[in-house]
Structure 1
Amino acid sequence: MLLEEFDPARAVIEPEDWFAIRGEMEEEICDTIIMPFSGTLFEKISSLENSRYGGYMSNINGKQPWFIYEEDGQKVAVMKALLGGSALVGKLEELKEAGFKNFIIFGTCGVLDGSLESNKLIVPTSSLRDEGMSYHYAPASEEIGYSEQHLAHFTGILDKLRIPHTQCKAWTTDAFYRETSDKVARRKKAGAKVVDMEWASVAAWAQFRDASVYHFFYTSDFVDTENGWDKRDGHEEEDLLRFFDIAMKIAGELA
């Protein structure tokens, strides 16, 4: 199987090679970058008075900018996370090479367990690897996730900040229009309570590059095999700002 060909050797093209072509950067770098998937939230934060342009990465789709956000003496970068494991990990590779040290990533996840209400903070303990990117950063296996030490560190920060959260297994798939009823049932039987598109890829990258990643979800739609798909609308702006505030508090603990 192709996905069993994990090879830890140096790649033909490494992130530093891309930077050698790009040339010297003049962008502003700080220790921590916060990466929400929500375009609405990114536009909201980048338009605030205490935000300023920091720099950009680019690909054939165009430029992906980040902004420097300062609040009460705390400075972080904010950049919109790209959708999908391959796009996101590719950008993380470049951001780490640019000099960012801590990566706080958050966005919605689908719910497989109907007892999880909307807008609940989820820390994924591990994920069922139903995507392609992770297999290029870690040997083939059914699951991948945080190391026990990093999971304890991350949840310890949330406990210290008294931020309620639920820990559970995820299912990462890059085929969101192919979540059939049988697949959902099998993933639930394997212990997954939520579904996303990036976490397994990010977890494998973090382990391979020894990167400091704090990736969490907030619950969204319900993938219900018995009664059909429930969109569960209700992610209002105040909810998005609440999760950004949580990301800022995590960043404060990392400073």
Structure 2
Amino acid sequence: MSAPPPRPLPPILRDKHPEAASAFTPQSLLREARRQRRIPDAPVPEVCILDPDGDVVRHLRAAGRARPVEGWACYHSAMDRFEQGGRAFGIVGCAVGAPYAVLVAEQMFASGCRLLISITSSGQITALRPPPYFILIERALRDEGTSYHYLPAGDFAQADPALVASVGAGLAEVGEPIERGATWTTDAPYRETAEAIAAARAAGLLAVEMEAAALYAFAAARRRAVLCFAHVTNRMGQAGDFEKGEADGAPTSLALAQAVAEAWERSRAPRPG
């Protein structure tokens, strides 16, 4: 008997050509948005934050610390500017999920961003301690679709090891321990079955979130500086979950972003001699 014909690849793995240039670029979208809306061509802050829950943005606005970034020309989001530790940051709230997070990230870097920090709520897979706590995501399981448009197929997307190393010492300045390890990035949070959770735990994954694998694939393909943190806030919706701490975790998230930005800046400074 002849062997059955090979099964075709699913569409997510077909005709991607991640090494090829895109016909549609963030630069072209931003150009047209500026033209249509009469937005000045001015750079955004060098360090930007993705705040998928929006709690940090709401905290900054309520405290009178946030102002709109006039040069932000994205059709789909608003960017605020604020000061922390004497440094200007740009922040976009509620960019939930891999496709939206990378859409915004592309436009941030096309607008002058040089370091992007993502701080996203996540569900506990491996119990390191009671939530809430933070994890520096070193690699993320690619159980979403966006990363396959940026990198060839593979199980994980990795953080840049040099970038991780450059901020390591600075994380001690946050005032609480920051765990490190791997997470599971999913596109379907309400399909986190007991079987999938057990498999993730057996693979050594620490938490589940919705953006990191895609952001790291984008960063690797475009050679951009991106660091993703999981703010473990829940145990899959058990009673008493989703408590993030003081002001919904905003002060600690801001301290984390400041420590990362300062360590990144130190790593780029020329060494004497």
Q: Answer whether contact 1:111 1:193 (CA < 8 A) is retained.
A: yes
Aligned to 1:153: 166
Tell me which amino acid in the other structure corresponds to 1:179.
E
1: distance between equivalents of 2:225 and 2:102?
13
TM-score, normalization: structure 2? 0.82
Q: Answer whether contact 1:126 1:146 (CA < 8 A) is retained.
A: yes
Counterpart selection for 1:36 from 39, 51, 76: 51
Note if 1:174 corresponds to 2:171. Answer: no
Note if 1:67 corresponds to 2:80. Answer: yes
TM-score, normalization: structure 1? 0.87
Counterpart selection for 1:254 from 243, 260, 264: 264
Counterpart selection for 2:118 from 81, 98, 105: 105
Tell me which amino acid in the other structure corresponds to 1:107.
T
- TM-aligned CA distance change 1:145 to 1:53, over 3 Å: same
Q: What's the secondary structure of 1:202's corresponding residue? A: helix
**Identity of matched residues, %:** 21
- TM-aligned CA distance change 1:144 to 1:40, over 3 Å: closer
Displacement of 1:106 in angstroms is 0.3
* Gapped regions of structure 1 (runs ≥ 5): none
Displacement of 1:116 in angstroms is 3.1
Note if 1:10 corresponds to 2:25. Answer: no
Counterpart selection for 2:246 from 228, 237, 241: 237
Aligned to 2:60: 45
| Alignment coverage as a number of residue pairs | 248
The structure with the larger Rg is 2
Displacement of 1:142 in angstroms is 1.0
Q: Answer whether contact 1:123 1:215 (CA < 8 A) is retained.
A: yes
Q: Tell which deviates more after alignment, 46-55 or 11-20.
A: 46-55
Provide the aligned C-alpha RMSD in A.
2.2
Can you list the C-alpha shifts for 1:109-128, whole angstroms capped at 9, x where unaligned? 10011343212110112111
Q: Answer whether contact 1:50 1:71 (CA < 8 A) is retained.
A: no
Q: Answer whether contact 1:221 1:229 (CA < 8 A) is retained.
A: yes
Displacement of 1:185 in angstroms is 1.3
2: distance between equivalents of 1:161 and 1:236?
15
Note if 1:91 corresponds to 2:104. Answer: yes
* Gapped regions of structure 2 (runs ≥ 5): 1-8, 266-273
